[in-house]
Structure 1
Amino acid sequence: MDVLVTGGTGRLGQRLVGPLREAGHGVKQMSRRGTGPGGVRGDLSSGFDLRAALAGAELVVHAASDPQGDPWQVDVAGTRRLVEAVDRDRLRHLVYVSIVGVDRIPYGYYRAKFAAEQVLLASGLPVTLLRVTQFHDFVDFLLDSARKGPVLPVPMGWRVQPVDVGDVAQHVVDVVGRPATGGVVEYGGPEELAVADLARAWAAARAPGAHVVATPVPGKLGSAFRDGAAVPAGGEKGRRTYAEHLQH
């Protein structure tokens, strides 16, 4: 089928193209600049070129997001623009890539992702909300950013289940080919880990000599992560462990 991937130049979007083509689909990657092979221009924040980018799409993988900028403009209002621009006569399935815990973790970006989910649920389109956990390389980035010289402070008692971006890409291809669920499905890595254990494994592989210090995080955010809000309640799991990721 004809597939459009929003956020086509992002961490996941780039990894989706190969598996989708191997599954026999024609793929267009939508981004603001429309660069790369199969690239088309479309701007969720303004609506510019959206209708042209979505023309003929039978499957849409909505992976675009703006966590560093204004997610209410891109993720929420942009999703509303996407819903208005889609070819309803052609569309068979829209898969939205969201995050495990957006409904439970009190964090501004997560609230925006949850609001975008509600836009899609109210749209009348054949949708599946695919909530995934944090990618392995994003965990690396967070830990590297948190390190202060020889000290690596991490939240005490937080639980996560990081996942390989390649595993997610393959799972998205599987989900796209299934009937729309009209609701939420979850996907995480193969094992649940304490953030402190994750940090020790990362430090041993990437920052020898760094000393991990687990620090209590008060408030509702810390409580949510300690209670497992970032861990899937069910759903399928990836295969590649964080330890395997660190070996490369």
Structure 2
Amino acid sequence: MTTILVTGGTGTLGRLVAERLRADGHEVRVLSRHSEPYAADLRKGGDALDRAVEGVDTIVHCATTPTGGDERAAAHLLAAARWAGVRHFVHISIVGIERVDFPYYRVKLAVEKQIERSGVPWTILRATQFHDLVARLFDASSKLPVMPVPAGVSDQPIEVAEVADRLAELAQGAPAGRVQDMGGPEVRTLESLAHAYLKATGRKRRVTNMPLGGKAYRGFTAGGHLTPELAVGKGTFEEYMARRSR
């Protein structure tokens, strides 16, 4: 039996990864800021983090926040991993972070580089956006009388459970470096996804395409965040919305 630490283990992805690893017979420690007995703030590091990592064979790093601090958190976690002699560091990242000039993507790419030069054996998996992120964006925009979506942008959302399955599989194997990306089953315009969202939720809104500006928008319209050649996901956005609406 292997001892595995899952950071962000109470979140959308980390919770599912922890469940799968436990089901496979591993001892799983869940690290988050408020989850005892391994509560720790990765951005601060310290003794609580060292206690959580001590005796761990593998770390699956799912913790992230778009509000800042991921690079500092990764530095603390990797330092603790080196100190504890962790044999495998598994990290979830995002498809296209080197192709789209978006602030959060720049941070994710910097974290990947930290991992690569850390001296801790590693595996990095990149995936496209989860269905639930797309749905939460539409939750916000559908509050308006007219539902705006960025013009010319498509997405390739993937079922989070499928990514969790793959991460759990990778965590139980040997360090593999950058593994093959995972993309959702379909590349869809945001307008198409918005109409699917409205149909599932029973809301009546007019969807309008809104042109934007800037480097990030140009990267998204160019499809830098997509991987149509690796559309390995199975679950569709409509299937996700049907479950969510129930």
TM-score, length basis structure 2 = 0.91
Which digits, 9 at most, give the CA deviation of each residue in 1:59-100, with x for residues without a partner? 110011121x32xx3x10111111111156742321111111
Q: CA RMSD in A?
A: 1.8
1:43/1:20 Cα in 2 relative to 1: closer, same or farther (>3 Å)? same
* Structure 2 CA distance for aligned equivalents of residues 113 and 2 of structure 1: 26
Report the alpha carbon displacement of residue 51 of structure 1 after superposing the two structures with TM: 1.1
* Structure 1 CA distance for aligned equivalents of residues 151 and 174 of structure 2: 40
**1:153 partnered with 2:151:** no
* Structure 2 CA distance for aligned equivalents of residues 32 and 119 of structure 1: 22
Further displaced range: 234-243 or 147-156: 234-243
**1:135 partnered with 2:130:** yes
Equivalent residues of 2:61, 2:89 under 8 A apart: yes
1:233/1:240 Cα in 2 relative to 1: closer, same or farther (>3 Å)? closer
Could you say which residue in structure 2 is the equivalent of 1:117? 112
**1:163 partnered with 2:158:** yes
**1:61 partnered with 2:60:** yes
- 1:3-22 matches, cutoff 5 A: 3-22=4-23
- 1:64-79 matches, cutoff 5 A: 64-67=63-66, 69-70=67-68, 73=69, 75-79=70-74
Report the alpha carbon displacement of residue 101 of structure 1 after superposing the two structures with TM: 1.9
Equivalent residues of 1:151, 1:210 under 8 A apart: yes
**1:93 partnered with 2:94:** no
* Structure 2 CA distance for aligned equivalents of residues 51 and 233 of structure 1: 41
Report the alpha carbon displacement of residue 148 of structure 1 after superposing the two structures with TM: 4.5
1:172/1:234 Cα in 2 relative to 1: closer, same or farther (>3 Å)? farther
Could you say which residue in structure 2 is the equivalent of 1:44? 42
Aligned residues: 241
Report the alpha carbon displacement of residue 236 of structure 1 after superposing the two structures with TM: 6.7
Which digits, 9 at most, give the CA deviation of each residue in 1:207-234, with x for residues without a partner? 4211111122233212111111111265
- Structure 1 segments unaligned to the other structure (5+ residues): none
Report the alpha carbon displacement of residue 44 of structure 1 after superposing the two structures with TM: 0.8
* Structure 2 CA distance for aligned equivalents of residues 224 and 241 of structure 1: 24
1:208/1:34 Cα in 2 relative to 1: closer, same or farther (>3 Å)? closer
Equivalent residues of 2:146, 2:207 under 8 A apart: yes
* Structure 1 CA distance for aligned equivalents of residues 49 and 180 of structure 2: 27
Report the alpha carbon displacement of residue 242 of structure 1 after superposing the two structures with TM: 0.6
Give the letter aligned to residue 199 of structure 1.
Answer: A
Q: Where does structure 1 differ by over 4 angstroms across 4 or more consecutive aligned residues?
A: 87-90, 233-236
Q: Secondary structure at the match of 1:113?
A: helix
TM-score, length basis structure 1 = 0.90
One of 236, 240, 243 as aligned partner of 1:241: 236
- Structure 2 segments unaligned to the other structure (5+ residues): none
Equivalent residues of 2:88, 2:174 under 8 A apart: yes
Equivalent residues of 1:97, 1:132 under 8 A apart: yes
Equivalent residues of 1:54, 1:87 under 8 A apart: no
Give the letter aligned to residue 121 of structure 2.
Answer: P
- 1:164-183 matches, cutoff 5 A: 164-183=159-178
* Structure 1 CA distance for aligned equivalents of residues 197 and 3 of structure 2: 40
Matched residues, percent identical? 37
* Structure 1 CA distance for aligned equivalents of residues 90 and 227 of structure 2: 18
